[in-house]
Amino acid sequence: MKNRINQLLEEVNQLVAANPDELESLRIKYLSKKGEVSALFNDFRNVANEEKREIGQLLNELKNAAQDKINELKETFNGSTDTEQKTDLTRSADPIKLGTRHPLSLVKHEIIEIFSRIGFTIAEGPEIEDDWHVFGALNFAPEHPARDMQDTFFIEQNPDVLLRTHTSSVQSHIMVQQKPPIRKLFPGRVYRNEAISYRAHCFFHQVEGLYIDKDVSFADLKQALMYFAKEMFGADTQIRLRPSYFPFTEPSAEMDISCNLCGGKGCPFCKHTGWVEILGCGMVDPNVLENCGIDSKIYSGYAFGMGVERITNLKYQVKDLRMFSENNVRFLEQFQSAY
């Protein structure tokens, strides 16, 4: 065995490898569990007792020499790889700047995260819709102004195919496909035929919510919206519900929050009223439930909807809606720390 150890030691000291694949083959040949060195260790049990001390020292010397040689060759290849990576001639000489998340994305995800804490999950739907899901199922009368060409984008003059004007169309899909209880949130982009200005755009973003179950009341709606307002704008935020009208809810309301700039005392931003409107809400109209195959005598529910741009304006004081879609780098860089 001593002769075999000395022979392998000489081989190991003369090892060379032209590439990492050859080096891996050498490592397997000498140092793997079935390699030459391991085989000698397995035969060590057959060595006479008086020779075990000497042979054991030689075996350890061989193992260490093989490991050192493999590591030495490996460092050579690692050095050449690093050199190749550092000489990338296609890279720009200027440092690459990290991007930032868009303010609308930041606010949308914050809204979703707040409502997810009280059991809401996300559902999404198509932006190109049919009349029934956008209007018919939601109790819009045939002569409702929203169905006019000046308010809605229709596809190729087809009165039955259009760009959705609200994410309530996803509510129609969910109510038809899923049996109560339903607790869903619907974020997405919507389109309306409006002149573009600092306060209006032809496309914008909404987040709507729907909760349907037995014995759902307006008090449940108020409690959910109060929780959202305090989580989004601060614990001192107050809410106010004013009667309103929407075809798909009855009773309906618009919700205001106490102005987060002046604390409700009155300022130019809130037009000296102390209140700022942020969303519409109400109890789901029984006609909507019946249109979607839900028994309104057993189930009730509430719905709410808010514009993401509106919430972003309040949170970051962005006064011109057009800035959200102009890709102005100086504007977007202001949100670099808002990850």
Do 113 and 10 lie in one domain? The reply is no
218 and 211 Cβ atoms separated by less than 8 Å: no
**pLDDT score for 23:** 83
> Could you please report the per-residue DSSP string of 189-230?
EEE------SS--SEEEEEEEEEEETT--HHHHHHHHHHHHH
pTM, full prediction: 0.67
Let me know if residue 109 belongs to a domain.
yes
Do 211 and 240 lie in one domain? The reply is yes
Do 138 and 13 lie in one domain? The reply is no
Do 126 and 60 lie in one domain? The reply is no
**pLDDT score for 27:** 84
Burial class (CB in 10 A: 0-12, 13-18, 19+), 172: buried
- Angle between helix 36-43 and helix 20-31 axes, rounded to 10 deg: 10
53, 86, 119 - which closes a domain: 86
Render pLDDT for 134-167 as a digit per residue (tens, 0 to 9).
998 998 877 777 666 567 888 877 778 889 999 9
CATH number at residue 331: 3.30.930.10
Do 39 and 170 lie in one domain? The reply is no
The range of the structural domain enclosing residue 294 comes to: 103-335
Let me know if residue 309 belongs to a domain.
yes
Render pLDDT for 50-102 as a digit per residue (tens, 0 to 9).
887 888 788 888 888 888 888 888 887 775 544 445 566 777 667 767 677 88
> Which among 304, 254, 312 has a CA at the least distance from the CA of 118?
304
> Which among 246, 273, 249 has a CA at the least distance from the CA of 259?
273
Do 125 and 80 lie in one domain? The reply is no
User: What kind and span of H or E run contains 64?
Assistant: helix 52-86
Region of 221 on the Ramachandran plot (φ > 0 left; ψ -120 to 50 alpha; else beta) = alpha
Render pLDDT for 268-310 as a digit per residue (tens, 0 to 9).
778 888 899 999 999 999 999 999 999 999 999 999 999 999 8
Do 25 and 126 lie in one domain? The reply is no
193 and 147 Cβ atoms separated by less than 8 Å: no
Let me know if residue 193 belongs to a domain.
yes
Torsion angle in degrees (nearest 10) through CA of 324, 327, 333, 339: 60
Percent of the chain beyond pLDDT 90? 42
